[in-house]
């Protein structure tokens, strides 16, 4: 009989939650989940539902330009 795999209980500092990662990348948390499922990001699982993202791996997905429209010139 094999022993069950031990799930780590301590989360290393510096990893982001899905919501934090989504806010940084300016996308919906479901998009972060999809990127993990598609292999674009590595998700570190702690328990059956808890997923964390390494910020260094998220960096290429952060937009470099502003996505908000500029104010109109009314003159």
- pLDDT for the residue numbered 21: 93
What radius of gyration, in Å, describes the C-alpha atoms of the chain? 17
**pLDDT over 90 at 4, yes or no:** no
Q: Quick one: average pLDDT of 57-63?
A: 80
48 within domain boundaries? yes
Q: Which domain holds residue 26?
A: 18-61
33 within domain boundaries? yes
User: How many domains are there within the chain?
Assistant: 1
Q: Per residue in 7-20, pLDDT tens?
A: 556 777 789 999 99
Going by the DSSP 8-state scheme, the letter that residue 61 receives in this structure is G
70 within domain boundaries? no
12 within domain boundaries? no
- pLDDT for the residue numbered 31: 94
User: What is the model's pTM?
Assistant: 0.67
Burial group, residue 61, by CB count within 10 angstroms (0-12, 13-18, 19+): middle
More confident residue, 6 or 73: 73
């Amino acid at each position: 009989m094999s022993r069950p795999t031990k799930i780590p209980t301590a989360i290393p500092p510096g990893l982001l939650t899905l919501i934090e990662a989504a806010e940084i990348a300016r996308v919906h948390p479901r998009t972060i989940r999809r990127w993990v499922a598609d292999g674009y990001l590595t998700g570190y699982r702690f328990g059956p539902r808890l997923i964390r993202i390494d910020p260094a791996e998220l960096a290429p997905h952060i937009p470099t330009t502003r996505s908000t429209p500029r104010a109109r010139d009314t003159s």
